[in-house]
Amino acid sequence: NKPPYKMGEIHPKPHAILLPYPLQGHVIPFVHLATKLASNGFIITFVNTESIHHQITKSRFQSNHHEEGGDIFSEARKSGLDIRYATVTDGFPLGFDRSLNHDQFFEGIVHVFPAHVDELVGKLVQSDPPVNCLVVDTFYVFSSSIAKKYNLVNISFWTELALVFSLYYHMDLLRKNGHYDHFDKREDIITYIPGVEAIKPSDMTSYLQTDPTTIVHRIIAKAFADVRKADFVVSNTIDELETQTISALQKNQPFYSIGPIFSSGFPTSSVATSMWSESDCAPWLDTKPEGSVLYVSFGSYAHTSKHDIVEIAHGLVLSQVNFVWVLRPDIVSSDETDYLPTGYDRLIEYCGLIVPWCSQISVLSHPAIGGFLTHCGWNSILESIWSNVPMICYPLLTDQFTNRKLVVEDFKIGVNLCDKRSITREEVAEKIKRLMCGKSSNDFRKEIKKVRKTLENALAIGGSSHKNLDRFVKDVKAKIR
C-alpha cells in the first residue's frame, strides 16, 4: 500500500506543521486555522507543547469525563479532515509553574525550545507525505532558520490586529523618532508609521510604552526581525477593519487577513482547546432576562491589582445588573487569594455568578448576555463582536491597549472602564449603566451590528477573508511546486 509518490517527490497537497505559542489566546486561533486549512485541502500536523497538551486534556477530563490523554483532533478527523497531532517538550518538566516562573519560561522558549522543535520537524519531514510548510506563531524567534534548514515554506501566523503587527514591525522607526526606548520619550501623536494615520503613544502595546528591559521585549525584537524572512504572513484580522494598515504591510511581504478565524460552526468546535475546566453557566443564565447580564472576564493570562478587583466588585453591585464574572484564582498578581470584599458571596447571591473559567463563546452567545467587561484580548473582542455584545474596556497588558482604541474610538462599540488612572466603584457602576441601559446602550448595539455584519460579509463566499484565504492557499501551493 505504498503512496503513489516517492519520498522527496512533491506531493500535490500542502502538508503544514502548525505550532502555536503556548498560551490559551494563541492555541485557540491556531486550532481554528488548522480546521480552516484542512477544509481547504491541507494536511495538518498540529503541534502543542506537552505542557499545553496535558493541561487541555486534564481540563477536558474534569469537565466532561472524557478520557485523559489522547488526541484533541480525533472528532475533527471523523468529518474527513486530515489533521494529525503531535506534542513537543518545551524543555521544562510538566510540574514546572510556567506562569509563576514567567521569565525563566520565556528564556527557555528562546534558548531551549528551538532545539526540540528542530528535532521534531526533522522527524516530520520524513512523514508520509512529507511536511512542506511550517506555520508558526509570529512570536517565535526561530521560524526562518528551521524553515530554511528543512526547505519548508515559512508561514507566520499573526493572531492579533494588523495595527499591532505594524507597530512592532516599525519599532526602529519609533525608536528613531523618540517614541520608544528613549531617555526623554515623546508623548505627541505618532503620524509616521506607514498605513497608520495617527496613534497616541498610550494606545501602543504596553511593551512599546515601556523600556526594552524584559525578556518579552527581547523576544518581540527578535521575532519581528525574523518575520521579515517569512514567505507569507496570515493574520486574524479583516481587511475592512484596517484597510490602510494592511495595504501598507502588503508592500513589505505577502500579508493575508483571513479573520475572524473561527471554526466553521462558531460558537461550537469539536476540538478541545480549553486549558482549564469550564463551569457551566447556562442553567443560571437561563433564569435571567434577555440582555440583562454583564459578562466579566480578563482573559487567560493578565493579572491585576487587589484594589481594582475590589472596586470592580463594588461597582458591579452598585450598578444593580446581573453578572457572570470569571475570576481566575491567579487574577491578582500577589500571593493573596482572598481579594473579594468580606461577605461578597451573600451580597451577590441573586445577581451574580462567579466562576474560575467557562466556555466564553457559549456565555457570550447566550441571549441573557447584554455586555462584556473585558481586558480587550483580541480573541475576546472578535467573539464579542460576533455575538453582538458591546464592551467595557479594561486593558491590562500588551496589545490590549491598541485593541481598546479600535473598540472605543474607531468602531464606537464600547466605553473605557475608567478615564483616569485609578478605578473607582462609582465610575465602574456608571460605565456599566451607560453600556447596558438607555439610549447609549441602544447606540452601542446599533454600531456593533454594523461591525458584526462586516465580519460576516468578510467570511461569506466572495467576501474579503474568504477570497484572501483562497489566494493564500493558491500561493502556498505555487510556492511548494
CB 209 within 8 A of CB 171: no
Angle at 353 (CA atoms; ends 352, 358), nearest 5 degrees: 145
Nearer to ligand UDP, 156 or 273 (CB): 273
Give min distance, CB of 37 to ligand UDP, in A. 19
* Distance (Å, whole) CA 376 – CA 270: 26
**Which residues, in sequence order, are CB contacts of 157 under 8 Å at separation 6+?**
18, 20, 29, 30, 33, 135, 136, 137, 138, 233, 234, 235, 236
Nearer to ligand UDP, 55 or 359 (CB): 359
Give min distance, CB of 28 to ligand UDP, in A. 4
How far is the CA of 261 from the CAs of 24, 32, 44, 234, 235, in angstroms? 15, 6, 16, 10, 9
Give min distance, CB of 183 to ligand UDP, in A. 31
Give min distance, CB of 386 to ligand UDP, in A. 11
CB 376 within 8 A of CB 402: no
Nearer to ligand UDP, 24 or 166 (CB): 24
Give min distance, CB of 106 to ligand UDP, in A. 15
Nearer to ligand UDP, 14 or 395 (CB): 395
* Distance (Å, whole) CA 184 – CA 194: 24
Nearer to ligand UDP, 244 or 305 (CB): 305
Q: Which residues of 107-135 are buried (b: 16+ CB within 10 A; e: fewer)?
A: bbbbeebbebbeebbeebbeeebbbbbbb
Nearer to ligand UDP, 153 or 219 (CB): 219
Nearer to ligand UDP, 132 or 359 (CB): 359
Nearer to ligand UDP, 302 or 455 (CB): 302
Give min distance, CB of 32 to ligand UDP, in A. 10
| CA-closest candidate to residue 377, choices 159, 99, 139 | 159
Give min distance, CB of 161 to ligand UDP, in A. 11
Q: Own/partner pairs for 440-447, CB < 8 Å, 24+ apart?
A: 441/370, 441/390, 443/412, 444/390, 444/412, 444/413, 444/414, 444/415, 445/388, 445/390, 447/390, 447/411, 447/412, 447/413
**Is the four-CA dihedral 192, 193, 194, 198 of positive or negative sign?**
negative
CB 330 within 8 A of CB 303: yes
Instruction: Lay out the sheet containing 414-416: strands in order across.
Output: 352-355, 322-326, 293-297, 369-374, 391-393, 414-416
C-alpha cell read off for 406: 479600535
Interface with ligand UDP by CB under 6 A: which residues?
Answer: 24-25, 28, 274, 297, 299-302, 326, 357-361, 377-380, 383
Nearer to ligand UDP, 179 or 366 (CB): 366
Nearer to ligand UDP, 206 or 440 (CB): 206
C-alpha cell read off for 365: 452567545
